[in-house]
């Protein structure tokens, strides 16, 4: 096959795949790791002597700051097992007792950089509204536990939504007034809340941080808040699982998945067809993780937007149809 090399040696078939991109958080030199978890489209490796993970992804997955993305989508990652030792030497990642290896040499380094958003621009407000409506429509279609609109109605929605609602409503005004203590207390109740590999509370916070980073710009007060808030979140991250903790770690440092960054770029451009297509890609990540992250992103984009912040503070002033209050 043209997409991989095969060698026959003493009756064994060896398979080598090529990495097409490597996240900037992946070690650039030799490293050792242990397989932490295996999924159909990805494998997580725990780096030796470091409390963080890197992720091997098939080609149709999105880039990650900690990701190694392959150039094929049918690599047999499921053949790997948890606990197996992995080592990268000279740009080749190999796994003990496995014929599979990955050539990292020549792969481009992917930088997870967010654009700056000026939420006061009418085109941004319109893009926000379109994305919010698409988000809620998809959540209702998939009947997810969390519906973004319902977060702003404390007596409505699933049990998970009601649990998250008060924390979100506490977090927004606390962030607006740069209240670190109150913001951290609200986030503390969200971390680890919800089922799945990345709980909904974590996903919302990851998206929330993306929104804060993209709207802070050169504002020193906002940047100082994000830094202090992030340091406090790191202390709370032990409340959730190792995979989700890795995403939180990178979000705290301003690094996010390609799907989320692409959506922010589409919001900045304001072009409707591109926005809807990019939003669709972001929303379909995982079972509901993409939708939960986009929920956090859109909420936080409004926190420091002078034209939108009044709709978030105080929470009691929010209408039952939250999205309509943002329609341009």
Residue 12 confidence (pLDDT): 52
- Statement to judge: residues 41 and 18 lie in one domain: yes
Task: Look at residue 160 and tell me if it is in a domain.
Answer: yes
Could you give the CA distance from residue 92 to residue 48 in angstroms, rounded to a whole number? 17
Interval 141-180: pLDDT, tens: 999 999 999 998 767 788 888 899 999 999 999 999 999 9
Residue 99 confidence (pLDDT): 92
Say how many domains are in the chain: 2
Task: Look at residue 205 and tell me if it is in a domain.
Answer: yes
Name the residue range of residue 260's domain: 122-326
Could you give the CA distance from residue 303 to residue 315 in angstroms, rounded to a whole number? 12
Considering only CA atoms, which of 134, 117, 120 is closest in space to residue 328?
Answer: 120
Residue 328 confidence (pLDDT): 30
DSSP 146-175: --GGGGG-TTSS-HHHHHHHHHHHHHHHHH
Task: Look at residue 63 and tell me if it is in a domain.
Answer: yes
Cβ-contact 242, 53 below 8 angstroms: yes
Task: Look at residue 115 and tell me if it is in a domain.
Answer: no
Task: Look at residue 256 and tell me if it is in a domain.
Answer: yes
- Statement to judge: residues 61 and 147 lie in one domain: no
- Statement to judge: residues 191 and 321 lie in one domain: yes
Residue 140 confidence (pLDDT): 94
Residue 181 confidence (pLDDT): 97
Could you give the CA distance from residue 41 to residue 215 in angstroms, rounded to a whole number? 33
Residue 305 confidence (pLDDT): 67
- Statement to judge: residues 77 and 42 lie in one domain: yes
- Statement to judge: residues 163 and 270 lie in one domain: yes
Phi, psi dihedrals of residue 192, rounded to the nearest 5°: 80, 0
Q: Which residues of the chain have pLDDT under 70?
A: 1-13, 154, 305-328
Could you give the CA distance from residue 105 to residue 114 in angstroms, rounded to a whole number? 26
DSSP percent split of the chain into helix, strand, coil, nearest 5: 45, 15, 35
- Statement to judge: residues 175 and 228 lie in one domain: yes
- Statement to judge: residues 58 and 101 lie in one domain: yes
């Amino acid at each position: 096959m043209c997409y991989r090399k095969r060698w026959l040696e003493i009756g064994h078939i060896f398979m080598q795949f090529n990495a097409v991109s490597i996240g900037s958080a992946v070690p650039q030199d030799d490293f050792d790791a242990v397989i932490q978890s295996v999924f159909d489209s990805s494998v997580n490796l725990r780096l030796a002597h470091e409390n963080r993970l890197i992720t091997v992804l098939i080609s149709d997955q999105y880039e990650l700051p900690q990701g190694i993305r392959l150039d094929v989508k049918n690599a047999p990652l499921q053949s790997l097992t948890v606990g197996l030792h992995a080592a990268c030497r000279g740009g080749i990642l190999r796994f003990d007792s496995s014929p599979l290896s990955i050539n990292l040499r020549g792969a481009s380094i992917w930088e997870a950089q967010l654009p700056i958003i000026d939420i006061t621009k009418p085109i941004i407000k319109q893009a926000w509204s379109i994305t919010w409506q698409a988000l809620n429509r998809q959540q209702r279609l998939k009947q997810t536990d969390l519906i973004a609109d319902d977060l702003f109605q404390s007596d409505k929605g699933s049990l998970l939504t009601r649990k998250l609602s008060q924390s979100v409503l506490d977090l927004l005004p606390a962030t607006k007034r740069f209240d670190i203590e109150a913001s951290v207390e609200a986030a503390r109740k969200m971390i680890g809340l919800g089922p799945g590999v990345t709980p909904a509370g974590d996903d919302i916070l990851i998206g929330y941080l993306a929104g804060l980073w993209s709207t802070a710009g050169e504002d020193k007060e906002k940047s100082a808040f994000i830094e202090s808030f992030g340091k406090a979140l790191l202390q709370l991250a032990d409340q959730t699982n190792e995979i989700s903790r890795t995403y939180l770690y990178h979000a705290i440092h301003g690094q996010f998945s390609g799907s989320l960054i692409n959506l922010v770029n589409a919001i900045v451009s304001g072009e409707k067809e591109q926005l809807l297509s990019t939003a669709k890609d972001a929303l379909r990540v995982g079972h509901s993780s993409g939708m939960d992250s986009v929920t956090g992103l859109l909420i936080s984009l409004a926190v420091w937007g002078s034209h939108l912040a009044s709709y978030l503070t105080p929470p009691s002033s929010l209408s039952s149809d939250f999205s309509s209050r943002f329609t341009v």
